[in-house]
Structure 1
Amino acid sequence: MMKLDKELSPHARAALAEVEKCTSCGLCKDVCPVFALSLREAESPRGKINLLRALMEEDLDPTSEGVDIFNRCLLCYACQDACPAGVKTERVWISAREILANEVGRPFSKSFFLRRVLPAPRVWNIALGLGRILPGGDDSFRIRGMQLPRPAGERINRLLPEVLEPRTQHTGSVAFFPGCLLSEVFPHIGLKAAEILANLGYRVITPADRVCCGAPAFNNGDLTTGRKLAERNLEIMTSLDVDAVISPDATCGGAFMHEWDLLFPAGSLWRKTYLDFREKVRDYGEFLLRLLSSRSVVETRPLEYQVTIHDSCHLSHLQHKADVPRKLLSFIPGIQIIESKQSDLCCGFGGSYSVLYPHDSRAIARRKLEYLRTDDEAMIVVGSPGCLWKLRSEAAELGLNVRVVHYLEVLWESLLGGGTPAPQAVDEDELKAD
C-alpha cells in the first residue's frame, strides 16, 4: 500500500494499477524528449514508474523532489504509444501529480493560477491585460525568467459572432470550441477555422460563456478545478442543438475525448452526460476531412508551397490522427510535403513544462527545429496552437528566416484567401478519414 496519509480517489487507484503492467523494458526511454535531453534515469518514463512503485511499497516518502520529477514531463504521450505492455501513461502521470500535490502541496503561484485565475473570468481578463503590456516580443512576454504566450490585442469573441451563419446551403450546425490559445493568442486563426466551416454550409456556434477545457488544471494534478471547468462546459455544450462539437486545438479535443474520462469515472454524477457529449466530439481536422472527402468536387486555389509537418503530440499520440493535416493539405494543388526526421518529436511546449523549465523547453524546441528545417524554402506546418507558439517564438529567438503556420491558415488561404479556386476531384480512397 502506498505510504500516503490521504485516501486515494477511485481514478487514482485505477491509474496506479497501470504501474503494475510495466515490465521495465525501457523502450519508453527511446522516445522520451525529456530523457534525451537530461539522460537522467529518474526523468525517464521508466524512472517515474519506478518512483511510483517505491512510494506504493513504502520505500519512499512523498517529497518536493518527487513532485519535480513528475513535473519534468511534457505529457506528450510518446511513451504510451511505445509501450509494448500497454501502460496508459496518460492516466498515470496525471494521477501521480494529483497524489503528490495533495501530499506535498503546490507552490503558491501555481495554486493561485489554477484556483483563482483560470476558473474566474474577471481575474483571467486582468491577467490577459497584463500579458499584453509586459515586456517581450510580438508573440511572447517574460516575467521572472519565464517566457509566456502574449495575448493578442483582440479576443476571438470580438472577432467571431456567437452564431456564424452558413454562407452556402445549410448543411448542419456545430458547436465550435477554439480553446484558450486560439481565443486569446491566435484569434485570427480561430476565426479562419470558423469561416471555413461556415463557407461549407455549417452554422457555427461559439458560446461566449465557454471556459477553459481544464487541461492546465488536471494536467497539473488539480482535478477539482479541472472538473469544475469541465462541468461548466458540459452544461453549455449539451444545451446546444448541434450535430457535432468541434475543436481545432488538439489539446482541448484530446481532453474531451480522453482525459475527461478521468474527471467523470464510472458511477459519477456527470458520467452519462459526459459520454453523450463525447459521442459528438470531433477533432476539427478530422471533421473537415470527412466533410471534404464526401464531396465529389472541392474548389481550392493552387498554392506553390513546400511544407514540412510537425506532428503535434496530442494530435499524434493522444488522438492518433497525425495523418489528418497531410490529407487535408493534399487537397491543395501545388503543395509539396517534405517529410522530416522525427516528425512526431515533441516541440518542447508541454503547457506548464515550458513555464517551469524554460531552458529545457527551449533546448527541446531547438532540437526539433533542426529536424524540421529540411529545406530553406519550406514552411513549417503544425496542428496545435501550443506547438505554433513554441516553434514560432523559438525560431524568432534564433533569428531564423522560417515561417511557422497552423495547417488551418494554409487551408483558409486556398479555400477562401482570394483568387479563383480550381475545382479538384476528390480521390475518396486516398483521402478516406480513419
Structure 2
Amino acid sequence: MNDIANLRTTLSELDDLLVNCMRCGMCQSVCPVFQDSMLEGDVARGKLALIDSLAKRMIDSPKEVKDRLEKCLLCGSCEAGCPSGVKITDIFIKARAVLTSYMGLSPVKKAIFRGTLVHPRLFTGLLSMGSKFQWVATSEANSFFGTSCSKIMSPLIGDRHFMPLAKRPLHKDHSGMDTGKGTAGIRVAFYPGCVVDKMLPQVGKAVIKALEFHRCGIYLPKNQGCCGIPTLASGDEESFLKLLKHNLKPFSKGNYDVLVTPCATCTSTIKKLWPKMAAKISPDAEKKAKRIADRTMDISEFLVKQFGVDLSAHAVVGAKKTVTWHDPCHLKKSIGVAAEPRTILKGLPGYEYAEMKEADYCCGNGGSFNLIHYDTSTRIGGRKRENILATGADVVATGCPACMMQMTDMLSQGGDNVAVKHVIELYADAL
C-alpha cells in the first residue's frame, strides 16, 4: 500500500511540475540529442508530453516509455533556456523513479548500484583489484593521451578510447587528511568524487597542492561514497538515499568553512539534489544536507572568489601555448559557474587563451547515456572535437571529469595532439 501511495504522490508532483510547460519548443534549439536526431520524441517538449500521460503509458508500453526517457543527457540545456522556468531535470528524474519503481532495475544495474556502489569500501576494493588486472582485457590505444582500448570485441566498450583506472588512486595517499584551520584561517572540506579518486588522482593532488599553497586547512574524510547521481539518473532512489546517508555522516562533522569539489556533476548534485532528496529521509537529514549544500563550491569558483588567483609572479619567458575552455553543463547551466575558470586560464603564465565556439555546448557524455547511446554520444562529441580543433589550442581545459573522458575519447580516436586537462591541474602547475 505504501508503494502505491508513494507512486500516487509522485505522479501528482509531476502534474504540478508539468503545468508550466507551454509546449513552445524553445528546447529544440538547445537540445544536443534533438540537434542530432531531429526527432520530436528526443526533445524535452516531446518527453514532457509523454510524461503528461505517464500513468496510462507505463501500463500500456513501459519499456518504450523508459527507452524514450533515457535518451536524454540530463545536461540541463533545455531547463536553462526555458522561458517558463519549467524544472525539466526534476521532472525527468521523478519520471524515471516512477518507471523504475514500476518496472524494477535491470539485473546489471541492481548488481552495480545495490550490490557494490552503495557499499563504498567494497566498491573501492573491487576497482582497486580491477586496476591491477585491467591489462588482461585492454591494450594501449594512444600513447599521447595514455588511453586504452578493449583487446576483444565488447558491446559495452565498443571502439572507445578510455582512461584506464589509476595504478594508485588518490585515497591511497591522501585519505583521512585533517589539518585544522590552516594559517589562512580557512578549513576546506574536499570531496574528490569517484572518477577523480579512481581514474584521475592527479586532479585531486592538484586541488590539494592549490589549497596548501593558499595555506588552507584540509578536511578529507575517509571512505567517501559516490555522490549518487548515477543511481538517481537511473531512477534508483533507494540506492541514492543510502549513499546520501553515508555521505551526510562525515560531511555533517568537521566544522569546515567550505566544501570544494573538482567535479561539476558532484558539485551540482550536492548543491541541488542532496537537500531535495534528504527530505525523504528526515527533517534532520534535510537540514544537514542543506547546510552542506550552502557551503559547497566548485574549486575554481572558490579559488577566484577567495584568493583572486594572481599568477603574475610566475611569468614564463618564451613561446606560449594556447589553451581553450569547455563549459561543463552541470557547472555553467546548473550552478552558474563560467567566469571563474576563465579567469584562471586567462591568467596562466605561458599560455594564451582562445575562446571556443559553442564552449557551453554539451560534449555528449551524459554518464550512462554514453554507454547506452554511444553512436549519438560520439556524434555530439565529434561536434565538440571540431570546435576544439578550430581554436588551434594545444590544451583544452574543463572542470568535469566526465567531460574529460569524453573529449579524450574523441581527440584520441582522431589522433589529435590536444591535451585534455582539468583547470585545477594547469593552475597547480603554475604554482
Fold shared by both chains (TM-score > 0.5):
yes
- Partner Cα distance (1:12, 1:205) in 2: 41
Residue aligning to 2:372? 356
- Gap change, CA 1:196 and 1:58, over 3 Å in 2: closer
- Give the one of 253, 256, 259 matched to 1:239: 253
- Give the one of 129, 150, 158 matched to 2:164: 150
- Gap change, CA 1:54 and 1:353, over 3 Å in 2: same
- Partner Cα distance (1:94, 1:28) in 2: 17
Aligned sequence identity (%): 26
- Listed as ranges, the matches of 1:34-433 within 5 Å are 34-56=33-55, 61-120=60-119, 121-130=121-130, 132-133=134-135, 134-137=137-140, 138-140=146-148, 142=150, 143-146=154-157, 147=160, 149-163=163-177, 165=179, 169-265=183-279, 268-293=283-308, 299-302=313-316, 304-415=320-431
* Structure 1, 398-407 or 161-170: larger mean CA deviation: 161-170
Q: Deviations over 1:19-49 (max 9, x none)?
A: 1111111110111111111111111111100
Q: SS where residue 373 of structure 1 aligns?
A: helix
- Partner Cα distance (2:331, 2:47) in 1: 24
Q: Is the 8 A contact 2:181 2:187 kept in 1?
A: no
- Partner Cα distance (1:377, 1:331) in 2: 16
Alpha-carbon distance, 1:230 to partner: 1.0
Residue identity matched to 2:299:
Y
Q: Which runs of 5+ in 2 are unaligned?
A: 141-145
Q: Is the 8 A contact 2:11 2:55 kept in 1?
A: no
Alpha-carbon distance, 1:290 to partner: 1.2
Q: Deviations over 1:357-413 (max 9, x none)?
A: 122211211111111212334421111111011101221112112111111111111
* Structure 1, 160-169 or 193-202: larger mean CA deviation: 160-169
- Partner Cα distance (1:119, 1:101) in 2: 17
Q: Is the 8 A contact 2:300 2:423 kept in 1?
A: no
Alpha-carbon distance, 1:124 to partner: 4.3
Q: Is the 8 A contact 1:55 1:61 kept in 2?
A: no
Q: SS where residue 84 of structure 1 aligns?
A: coil
- Partner Cα distance (2:167, 2:8) in 1: 42
Q: Is the 8 A contact 2:175 2:221 kept in 1?
A: no
Q: Deviations over 1:147-179 (max 9, x none)?
A: 565311111012325226499834321110000
Q: Is the 8 A contact 2:323 2:345 kept in 1?
A: no
Alpha-carbon distance, 1:136 to partner: 4.5
Residue identity matched to 1:117:
T
Q: Which runs of 5+ in 1 are unaligned?
A: 416-434
Alpha-carbon distance, 1:123 to partner: 4.3
Q: SS where residue 245 of structure 1 aligns?
A: strand
- Gap change, CA 1:9 and 1:201, over 3 Å in 2: farther
Q: Is the 8 A contact 1:166 1:201 kept in 2?
A: no
Residue aligning to 1:431? none
- Gap change, CA 1:314 and 1:355, over 3 Å in 2: same
Q: SS where residue 188 of structure 2 aligns?
A: strand
* Structure 1, 354-363 or 299-308: larger mean CA deviation: 299-308
Q: Is the 8 A contact 1:395 1:402 kept in 2?
A: yes
Q: Is the 8 A contact 1:11 1:265 kept in 2?
A: no
- Listed as ranges, the matches of 1:3-22 within 5 Å are 7-8=6-7, 10=9, 13-22=12-21
Residue identity matched to 2:294:
E
Aligned length: 411
Q: Is the 8 A contact 1:167 1:198 kept in 2?
A: no
- Partner Cα distance (1:192, 1:59) in 2: 47
- Partner Cα distance (2:389, 2:356) in 1: 8
Alpha-carbon distance, 1:228 to partner: 1.1
Q: Is the 8 A contact 2:311 2:430 kept in 1?
A: no
- Partner Cα distance (2:251, 2:277) in 1: 17
